[in-house]
């Protein structure tokens, strides 16, 4: 009987760890400055977060969202979240390129279809095994500066 109690306690602890869903609001600037971000983004598409004003918009080419998850095991929440953020940006960048856009404007967090628009922070949800970031934005052609 006692082995069943121990097993039950262990399973409860494991399910608690797996169920963790910590909401984090992290700085966009810090995520954009990581070496991975500098290396992985193509760079031909500019991102404008929240209500940041881009140069003159010549035309809107569409809207979309990207929901990306990453393995968080053995990583700090910030590290895992920055990686998920980068993955979401890379997906938006590739979509923009495919549409002929050179900017993504109105970029906002869109976790579980809840919008959080900010110029300075993004929303990430971190658990023991996974971290996730969802972003949405509008693909546009902007005038060169």
The mean predicted confidence, pLDDT, of the chain is 91
- Exposure on the CB side of residue 61, measured as CA atoms within 13 A: 18
CA atoms within 13 A on the CB side of 132: 16
Question: Which has the closest alpha carbon to 68: 46, 93, 39, 51?
Answer: 93
Over residues 48-75, the mean pLDDT reads 97
Domains and CATH numbers, the chain: 21-142 (3.30.110.70)
Do 118 and 62 contact (CB within 8 A), yes or no? no
Encode 67-131 in three state secondary structure. Answer: EEEEECCCCCHHHHHHHHHHHHHHHHHHHHHHHCCCEEEEEEEEECCEEECCCCEEEEEECCCEE
- Of the chain, the percentage scoring pLDDT greater than 70 comes to 87
Q: What tokens were used for 63?
A: 């809207």
Rounded-to-integer distance, Cα 87 and Cα 71, Å:
12
| pLDDT tens, position by position, 87-107 | 999 999 999 999 999 999 999
Q: Report the alpha-carbon distance of residue 80 to residue 58 in Å, rounded.
A: 36
């Amino acid at each position: 009987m006692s082995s069943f109690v121990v097993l039950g306690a262990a399973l409860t602890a494991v399910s608690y760890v797996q169920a963790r869903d910590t909401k984090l609001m992290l700085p966009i600037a810090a995520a954009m400055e990581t070496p991975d971000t500098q290396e992985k983004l193509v760079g031909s598409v500019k991102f404008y977060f929240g209500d940041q004003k881009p140069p003159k918009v010549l035309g809107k080419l569409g809207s979309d969202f990207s929901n990306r998850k990453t393995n968080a095991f053995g990583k700090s929440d910030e590290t895992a979240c920055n990686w998920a953020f980068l993955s979401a940006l890379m997906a938006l960048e590739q979509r923009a390129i495919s549409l002929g856009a050179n900017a993504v404007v109105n970029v906002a967090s869109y976790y579980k279809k809840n919008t959080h628009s900010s110029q300075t922070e993004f929303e990430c949800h971190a658990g023991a095994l996974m971290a996730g970031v969802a972003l949405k934005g509008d693909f546009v052609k902007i005038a060169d500066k």
